[in-house]
Structure 1
Amino acid sequence: MDSGLYTQSDAAEAQPGAVPPRQTDQAVRETLEDYTLRFAPRSYRRWTPMVVATTALGGIAYMADFSIGAGIGLAHGTGNALVAIAVAAVVIFVTGFPLAYYGARYNIDLDLITRGSGFGYYGSILTSVIFASFTFIFFALEGSIMAQGLKLGLGLPLWLGYLVSTLMVIPLVIYGMKALSKLQVWTTPVWLVLMVAPLVYLIATDPGTVDRFLSYAGTDGEGGVNTASVLLGAGVCLSLIAQIGEQIDYLRFMPPKTEANKRGWWTAVIMAGPGWVVLGALKQAIGVFLAVYILAKVGPTAAPEPIQQFRGAFDAMMPSWLVVPLAVVLVVISQIKINVTNAYSGSLAWTNSFTRVTRRYPGRMVFVLVNLGFALILMEADMFSFLNSILGFYSNCAIAWVVTVATDIGVNKYLLKISPLQPEFRRGMLHAVNPVGVVAFVAASGLSIAMYFHALGDTLQPYSPVAAAVIAFVLTPLMAIVTKGRYYLRRTDDGIDEPLLDADGNPSATTYDCHVCRQPYERPDLAACRTHDAVICSLCLSTDKVGDHVLPATAVQPVR
């Protein structure tokens, strides 16, 4: 498009503190593709609520749930696995609801939400790294599953399968939300049919499979439901709590909520926000079912592999020549659907952190490759063989983060009214670090990780995810009360007279031109410039190396 950007001849006219012209050009081109690192403006959000929801739900077509459920079920038995899956699903739904609402209502991603919900402008870098880690861990898991499928179907060695599964997503990730929405919408029906059909067939033709599934006691041989096994299983499932971040990467493109569309709007937000866990929990339960079904044929080592699970299920309902190709197609479709999301969301998280720390924008594609590099290393290290250990450890950090932010929104904003109700993410408006979220997160994750590694004894080890959630839930409002909310906002006035929200409570659609990059942006993405009678966009503020454009701090009254 004709963007009116700086050229090299403009360099001499650049304002003090302005972003170098080439860097500005690159940042504007890339971030205007799908508003990476930014508020998503109304002019870009042309999808209906249901299209956004379908796109977001398409991203959870991953096969990891089958492996996670199978691993828990084989170790602890069906009863413990189903209770663990249900407990984790409830926690994920409850904590995901306020995050999904904020992302959809105010059109910002989870990192921007986190900044204003207890962490501060730089404090949320901690959680950006946690989220980026989530994306490459699960990319590696899905890539491993795809490599298993390619080995079975095409005879490719695993190391080559890992490489293929990594490289094939790069072209799809380049084009952002527009390409991802088309991919997810068109592939979801095929994926659903291939996943559900064999399960329905097995139950209908062999009801005894259900009895064997329900009576399976697990390798620990204890049988029945016990607290330690349930909590260990729930801890693994709760590693998926950070999935809400990827859901919000889509939900931020929801259209404005109005009286005319509020029913469809809420349905879409609940379905694609916290509602993703309903399908996720079902997939985990199916994973237990299929693992028990094929256990006698393939043994405990191969039973958690989705390619083996669906190979066994398809084998019961169709000609043998069709079994392997169809199982491979299912695995490949699932891997592509989720790993384009993992690569996309991970690149946003890394870029966001790097831009704030260094105050320069390197380009999102750099971090697509960084994220894929980390994932490939994990795959080549055979992470699939110690999957539950990785996820159990990671879940403590993810739980601490998500519960902290959800508590700040639900309790500190709406109940205690200490945290500002309207989200804030712009540099200059927030303190660098807010001890409310940072202290709660560090304490919750640190203590729960110590418990996970038996530092507080073997008895408490299964309770590490519970500790992460409880400590974060208690410390977040406590820290807000102790600090009287004085560290949420550095200033309350951004220097622009027009309100951020319109009469319906939606972000204002009025546009202003940023005087640094010379592009029009909607009201919530801008602030007044400190040294010029003009406005500046949030990304140019982030990349202002000397702070000439950043508004000075003002006295903010603490909550009494």
Structure 2
Amino acid sequence: MKNTHSPLLRSYHSWIANESLEDYSLRYAARSFRKWSPFIIANTALGGISFLALEAIGAAITLSHGFANAFPAILVAIVFIFIASFPIAYYSSRYNIDMDLLTRGAGFGYIGSTITSLVYATFTFIFFALEGAIMAQALLLLAGIPLVVGYLISSIVIIPITFMGVTMINRVQLVSQPVWVAMQLLPFAYILYEDPETIRRWTGFIGTQEGGSAFNILSFGSALGILFALSIQIGEQVDYLRFLPEENRKNRSAWWAAVILAGPGWILVGGLKILFGSFLAVLVISAGQPKQTALEPVHMYIQAYEYVFADPGLVLAAATIFVIISQVKINITNAYAGSLAWSNFFSRVTLYHPGRVVWLLFNIMISLLLMMLGVFDTLEVVLAIYSVIAAAWVGAIFADLAILKPLGISPSFTEFKRAYLPDFNPVGCGAMALASLAAFFVFAGFFGELAQAYAAPMAFFIALLTAVLIGVLTGGRYYIARPSVALAGPGDANVRCELCGFEYERPDMAHCTFYQRPVCSLCCSLEAHCHDMCKSPQVAVGTDFGTSTGGLRAKIAPNTFKRLVKAGGIFLALSVVVAAAILITYRLIEPDPASTHLDSSLILFGVFLALLPLLAVGTWWIVLSHESRELAERDLLISLEELEKAQNDLAANERLAAIGEVTATVSHELRNPLGTLVNSADLLRRSVTGTQAETLGELDRLQRNAWRCVKIIDDLLDFSRNYSFYAIEIELDGWVTRALADIDPALRARIVVELGSESAVLADSERLRQAFVNILNNAAQACDLATSDAPIRVATFSEGDEVVLDVTDRGIGMTDDVRRRIFEPLFSTNAFGVGLGMPLVRRIIEHMGGTVRVTSESGTGTTVQFRLPRAGAPEP
């Protein structure tokens, strides 16, 4: 019998249970939540393309490498990102999962995709910091607000909108989109109308680096490498596309339009904005402004709006309002996507999920820290390094979705639930690791300056080819850890998670072999007690892997690696928060960046260093407190299991007591009348002559039924009696031969014997015989009902530390419902049966330390196995 465990009901914070705030983070987006039209979702997804970092990137590569290299690089990047993003957008929309859940099933595995969650989270807070810095610059110019205060304002204003999730974000994007589009295009219309000569100045701009006057393969590669970092933007698009309604005949055109335009199509709008930034940067340079000013989108649009308004106040106000609207629109997307990415990362690292809202604040805090460190001033370097990792990730995913799935090597669907995924898949993990490592060596300049410029494209293609190669060589066997299990009930009905108590749609549910119950994907992700036994059934629950493997690992405390990773994550989070607070303090007391006071910085740095040991102690306190809570839960789980077992034993004993009490009464009241009835029938038979055949037949039938009543009373007494078991060592093969010699010859003639255990067991010979004969009689009855003359097979064999006695018939078999109930007392499918035979059989075998296994199929036959411990084998 399978080992089952009683679940502890998991209690989440109220905002986690409120899906209007949580937005099904870490989950499949349920149909009931996907209530918006394709237009609304596409509009929300495209609302995030307002980010002015695109203009800054276009300006940076144009001012450095000239138009002759920046323009073709932008065109190539548009084509590349569109093609690479399309399968990601399609599969996410088709299966309603976010970027991380998609990555799990697209070649990385459940744990392997944690690194990609970290990469994606990095993208969100880098771009949040860039956009926040741009917004702070606008506030400084418009209202004289210091940059530090502007950083705080640009961060805090995002929190209430993103806190409310996609419901509020939809409304904000819907209202702001027309205003943003109009303010984006208006100045360019004026510029082209009033001064078309600016196009010539733009196309003739040669840049500051050597080789910008004409197309240069080195400059082109450097510009392209920076643009490759934008390939991860598709992750933010699919964080919204997962809420698309299901495709049907009625909405097919709108659905596909949303997938294409709001998915890979983002780069069409984004590419145009990159070109806008390239154009405006040249415009600012032509006006006599320095390069650093030309890189700032605020100054770009101030220069642009000078063509629209003559009043400098209106120019500054219009440019600032446009920048603020753009930054709010994009940073609610950056913050939202970051909260999902951090949730996915920490839920697997710590097996704890405090809610998306907590990680929203954490993501904004890191972004604020980057603003304070001046991330905008190192834009080109940051994006050039990041693009290598981003390209490797996208290359591995693209290989799976666009090549391995059509070839049938990867499953046609995308599995995201922990219960069915391996921890690591070498296809994605191996490809990304190899491509990133190789590309970083190239980027470091080990293979020359030309190769260095093309490190990001090389990372993409190395990951693509490596993923395909590994997928073909492994045959795709590392995608699924075990087949999914169909859950009971109607296909369109929600299923209750037995851990948290909430109901979810079937795609979000999995069958847990540890609890033998359906659980939701989030509870499955956070389960700490099962040790993934569903994917390693041969490993006993609670096995200490550190001690079972021996060697050095046996000397390490259990769960050391997990504990260190958890502590490292918490220490990083605390350090970020403290560093941000100290940096804000420093910037507030040092408002003028031109003048620095060494004493202040050294004092605050010393404070930070002094706090680090306290943070380390606090980290371990948090980790140990969490482990103490887990230990208490585990103890409670064991106590509940013991309580459930005691309750079941008590209920069984109460049933036995009730049966015994009833049986004693029935036996006392009916045995004498039945005995009289049998004797009277026998006396009448003797007095009837041979010519009265009909009377003789009725008297025989009367006598048989009287004896059947006596047999029922005996069975009831037998079942309710507490036996003493006298276990001795029995050589099983010889015992079976002797037992078969004593049974009815007609039944013995139907039996085929295959004895091969050659082992002894500790058993009560008489009780074992009682159980064995009961099973043989059941097999004979099943064959008679099936009118089958097929033999009954009796076999013995050894399996590990168990000795098996196997009885197989080719009778009528059992349905699944009957098979599940055969051990219930008083349940019987036989019109004349009492339903005590199989419960008595199990009682006898379990008293001897064994188990009874029954496999049956209706119309095919039944196999019953007695599995007894081998004599001398160690106790489990």
TM-score (norm 2): 0.59
Match of 1:399 in 2: 391
Match of 1:378 in 2: 370
Distance 1:369 1:32, change over 3 A: closer
Displacement of 1:249? 0.5
Displacement of 1:347? 1.0
Pair 1:55-2:44 in alignment = yes
Distance 1:450 1:320, change over 3 A: same
Match of 2:517 in 1: 534
Pair 1:306-2:289 in alignment = no
Q: Tell me how far apart the structure 1 counterparts of residues 384 and 457 of structure 2 sit (CA, whole Å).
A: 12
Pair 1:224-2:229 in alignment = no
Larger radius of gyration: 2
Q: Tell me how far apart the structure 1 counterparts of residues 442 and 326 of structure 2 sit (CA, whole Å).
A: 35
Q: How many residues align?
A: 532
Secondary structure of residue in 1 paired with 2:352: coil
Q: Tell me how far apart the structure 2 counterparts of residues 189 and 209 of structure 1 sit (CA, whole Å).
A: 27
- Contact 1:251/1:269 (8 A) holds in 2: yes
Match of 1:551 in 2: 534
Match of 1:250 in 2: 240
Q: Identify which of structures 1 and 2 has the higher relative contact order when contacts are C-alpha pairs closer than 8 Å and 6+ apart.
A: 1
Q: Tell me how far apart the structure 2 counterparts of residues 57 and 219 of structure 1 sit (CA, whole Å).
A: 34
Ranges of 4+ aligned residues in structure 1 off by more than 2 Å: 15-33, 455-459, 493-499, 531-534, 548-555
Match of 2:867 in 1: none
Displacement of 1:31? 7.8
Displacement of 1:455? 3.1
Displacement of 1:321? 2.1
Distance 1:166 1:251, change over 3 A: same
Match of 1:294 in 2: 284
Displacement of 1:158? 1.4
Pair 1:357-2:349 in alignment = yes
Pair 1:144-2:133 in alignment = yes
Q: Tell me how far apart the structure 2 counterparts of residues 145 and 485 of structure 1 sit (CA, whole Å).
A: 46
Counterparts of residues 73-472 of structure 1 (less than 5 Å): 73-222=62-211, 223-295=213-285, 296-318=287-309, 319-414=311-406, 416-472=407-463
Amino acid across the alignment from 1:241 = S
Cα RMSD, aligned residues only: 1.9
- Contact 1:30/1:364 (8 A) holds in 2: no
Q: Tell me how far apart the structure 2 counterparts of residues 115 and 424 of structure 1 sit (CA, whole Å).
A: 7
Amino acid across the alignment from 1:486 = R
- Contact 2:108/2:425 (8 A) holds in 1: yes
Match of 1:37 in 2: 26
Q: Tell me how far apart the structure 2 counterparts of residues 105 and 188 of structure 1 sit (CA, whole Å).
A: 26
Distance 1:439 1:17, change over 3 A: farther
Displacement of 1:493? 2.4
CA deviation map 1:111-158 (0-9, x unaligned): 111101100000000100000000000000001110111111111121
Secondary structure of residue in 1 paired with 2:519: strand
Q: More displaced, 110-119 or 311-320?
A: 311-320
Distance 1:406 1:149, change over 3 A: same
Q: Tell me how far apart the structure 1 counterparts of residues 170 and 273 of structure 2 sit (CA, whole Å).
A: 22
Displacement of 1:532? 4.5
Q: Tell me how far apart the structure 1 counterparts of residues 457 and 336 of structure 2 sit (CA, whole Å).
A: 31
Q: Tell me how far apart the structure 1 counterparts of residues 228 and 486 of structure 2 sit (CA, whole Å).
A: 42
- Contact 1:143/1:335 (8 A) holds in 2: yes
- Contact 2:132/2:155 (8 A) holds in 1: yes
Match of 1:12 in 2: none
Amino acid across the alignment from 1:459 = L
Q: Tell me how far apart the structure 2 counterparts of residues 529 and 413 of structure 1 sit (CA, whole Å).
A: 27
- Contact 1:26/1:363 (8 A) holds in 2: yes
Q: Which runs of 5+ in 2 are unaligned?
A: 539-876
Displacement of 1:17? 7.6
Match of 2:571 in 1: none
Amino acid across the alignment from 2:418 = R
Q: Tell me how far apart the structure 2 counterparts of residues 308 and 481 of structure 1 sit (CA, whole Å).
A: 52
CA deviation map 1:47-98 (0-9, x unaligned): 1111110110001111111000000001111121111111111111111000
Match of 2:559 in 1: none
Higher strand share: 2
Secondary structure of residue in 2 paired with 1:60: helix
Amino acid across the alignment from 1:258 = N
Match of 2:487 in 1: 496
Q: Which runs of 5+ in 1 are unaligned?
A: 1-14, 500-507, 556-560
Displacement of 1:36? 1.0
Secondary structure of residue in 2 paired with 1:459: helix
- Contact 2:21/2:163 (8 A) holds in 1: no
